[in-house]
Amino acid sequence: MNIQKHATTITPLDKYNQELLNNVHPSDWINPTPAELYDLVVIGAGTAGLVTAKGAGGLGLGLKVALIEKHLMGGDCLNVGCVPSKCLIRSSRAVADMRDAGSLGVIPPEEIKIHFPTVMARMRQVRTKISPVDSAMSAKKVGVDVFFGEASFTSNDTLTVKGQTLRFKKAVIATGARAVKPQIQGLESAGYLTNETVFSLTELPPRLAVIGGGPIGCELAQSFQRLGSQVTLFHRGNHILNKEDNEAAEIVQQALIKDGIRLILACQMSGVEKTAEGKIIHFSCNGKSESIVVDEILAGAGRQPNVESLNLEAVGVEYDPRKGVIVNDNLQTSNPKIYAAGDICMNWKFTHAADAAARIVLKNTLFSPFGFGKYKLSDLVMPWVTYTHPEIAHVGMYEEEAQAKGIDCNTIKIDFDDVDRALADGETEGFLKIFHKKGSDEILGATIVASHAGEMISEVTTAIVHKIGLSKMSSVIHPYPTQAEAIKKAADTYRRTLLTENTKKLLGILTKFS
């Protein structure tokens, strides 16, 4: 056995974070003696790595599986991503609900009091409660050898971790990605937050600048604004969420403005300096130089892959420092023995995408003899959600995408001010768009903007995956009243397009004989 202990820490080191560490990086963990040969070695214990390793180990086939993690098991999602951010979003929604309660006849207090340390303590408590699923012990219980340390390939079938050599038949790289470091003069010396550090805050920054108007930037900007910060959001584009449907992004942009966020769009940040009064951000818009003073800066402008120190050259694995490990449609690298999954190699940087990719890797590494029956990444139908308020959820193609592929497409749009439950809820600023093939009920994609759009998109995803057209969806009974009834309204709208003059004549004849 390797008797080296593995020390790591997270702040603040309260009872919740101490319990979290006991699960995802125990200080007394002793790396096991390596097996003579592993069927599968997985590097990285985020979502992709955990699903791959525990999936293989839990089959009960006697497979030798090793999982290597240099920091915290659970990866970004559990520790510094999905879980903590959604906890903050929930608290911030409670503030907005109180603020807007007057329109429902409920008089809110003159001052909504927010105790930020309690908000963050609740986040740490929830994160800790979820962590046993991703823990070192949970992997060990299904027969996985868990090693803490930094992995580095040494030959075509070996790698090292903490001075130990592990031999493998197949290996999977699942080392994920991290926040991009913005190239802004003075930012490094002034200091800034990323998703990896922002959830360690115990005091609310009175003035917060957020760099990046993508999903992460918008979600956190809105949350901190509602929790009491004065937020300024910088984005290089002319509009936030510029990869989303334009109408959907506009609704969210107006929501951020309503919340009081200052948007600085299509501007260039030229430098940052730290002074006694705060961090001064210098920027220019339309040739005019301006500056603002903030207390903290949060960088949320993209992700970059964790490819360093793996020594990929030793095993002939091709990679790009910005895009990550290069894989084919089967998630196989340029070395046939080595696969990759998750943020390290995919454009879809979502937890559920990493989970789905891990299942592909399991099939292709262990249950595709001679390469037969391999699963493909391109076969996945991938939904995603931006968890602002309202949320934006999307699956499949956009109308422009379909047209670019030479597919004639029709769009059915249902505004939520035509949905009874949305009217009752006072949540009418949103819509459902369903894109279907012209002359057919085949669904190509959908976008939903609603308070809980993420809870609604799966019905459309299921329809696309199982090739259920709008005609059949029209026959599905939806409880009344629900906001998801918008999906049935869209399906009914399609059905009405089938009511041509000839169809009406036929129906008229049928009534005469009925």
The reply to whether 213 sits in an annotated binding site is yes
Torsion sign across C-alpha atoms 464, 467, 470, 472: negative
User: Distance from CA of residue 138 to its chain's centroid?
Assistant: 24
The reply to whether 214 sits in an annotated binding site is yes
Q: Per residue, what are the HEC states of 260-294?
A: CCEEEECCEEEEEEEECCEEEEEEEECCEEEEEEE
Question: Could you tell me which residues come within 8 angstroms of residue 439 by beta carbon, excluding any fewer than 6 positions away?
Answer: 408
The reply to whether 218 sits in an annotated binding site is yes
The reply to whether 217 sits in an annotated binding site is yes
Torsion sign across C-alpha atoms 11, 17, 23, 24: negative
Over the Cα atoms of the chain, what is R_g? 25
User: What b/e sequence results for 314-346 when a residue is b if at least 16 CB atoms lie within 10 Å of its CB, and e otherwise?
Assistant: ebebebeeeebbebeebbbbebebbbbbbbbbb
Residue for token digits 């399609």? 494
The reply to whether 302 sits in an annotated binding site is yes
Nearest to 431 by CA among 470, 394, 469: 394
The reply to whether 324 sits in an annotated binding site is no
Cα–Cα dist 509/335, whole Å = 67
The reply to whether 300 sits in an annotated binding site is no
Nearest to 414 by CA among 448, 365, 453: 448
Torsion sign across C-alpha atoms 272, 274, 277, 279: positive
Cα–Cα dist 356/49, whole Å = 11
The reply to whether 383 sits in an annotated binding site is no
The reply to whether 43 sits in an annotated binding site is no
Strand, helix or coil at 101? helix
The reply to whether 216 sits in an annotated binding site is yes
**Binding residue positions:** 86, 212-219, 302, 343
**Binding residue positions for NAD(+):** 212-219, 302
**Binding residue positions for FAD:** 86, 343
